[in-house]
Amino acid sequence: MSWLVILLCLYSSSGVAASKLEIGGGAFMADIPHYLGSDQSEQYIMPVPYIRYQSDELDVDRNSFTGYLWHYNNVHLDISAGVSLAVDSEDNKAREGMDDLDWVFELGPSLNYYFLGDPQASQQLYIGLFTRKAMATDFGSVTNVGWRYGPSIYFERPLLIKAGYEVTTSVRANANFADDRYLDYYYGISELDSQAERAQFNSQSGYSGADLSIGLNFDSKKYWVGGFIKYDHLAQSKQQRSPLVKQDSNISFGFGVAWKFYNKEGI
């Protein structure tokens, strides 16, 4: 993340009007499944940087990266990004003997219609359609692993606003679709990797599940505290019949705290 801090500082000093830049550090704990459909999960407790950057063109916070490309009235075209953690197949019984899953980074456009607010409003409600290109990397090489796309709905509102701090909540729901390359990266089983209890499997493009997440955040000038819980449902998905899918649903959750040592508004 250090390169991102430097980039944002340079971006802020290059004449682009930024409304907010916060930099800090803290710790985050999460329990996340190895992959959706896995019956094993990983617990993470780690120090993490905290970055909050907002301008008319770019918005970076603790869990998202959004670039504002174009808007007309309530319609906004944005850039969105996502990331999936790497998995060592030796740590997962279903994938034992198979290749590891690398970090997967996603980037692409999102077309959103706002019923309430706008991308920088404290209260907002929108429906959108996202499309993201996915690339897997072990930071030594990069592999194209296909596309993800689908509709989403997002709602965010402050629960409590006081002098010096605020408490906000957010809800997001997605219906997810993916092409065969993406689904085969996670759920495909080649003839070489097949076994008696792990039959060969190739997925088709199409519906890949739905998810619902809820977040709660406390934010002040010096501190941030927040958490989330997310439910993923894979029933009737294209990958459901893969022997690597051990259950039709997963629950993820996380909690973090951060101290902000740099806080500047109206840069």
Q: Does the structure show a pLDDT above 60 at 54?
A: yes
Tell the burial category of 102 from Cβ atoms under 10 Å away from its Cβ (0-12, 13-18, 19+).
Answer: buried
pLDDT in tens, 56-113: 666 766 556 666 678 899 999 988 888 899 999 999 999 999 999 999 999 999 999 9
pTM, entire model: 0.87
- Measure the CA–CA gap between 261 and 75, rounded to whole angstroms: 36
Tell the burial category of 239 from Cβ atoms under 10 Å away from its Cβ (0-12, 13-18, 19+).
Answer: buried
Name all domains of the chain by residue range, CATH numbers in brackets: 2-265 (2.40.230)
**pLDDT confidence bin for 16, thresholds 50/70/90:** very low
Taking the CB of residue 18, how many other CB atoms lie within 10 A of it?
20
pLDDT of residue 48: 85
pLDDT in tens, 121-137: 889 999 999 999 999 99
Q: Which residue, among 247, 225, 262, has the nearest Cα to 29 in the 3D structure?
A: 225
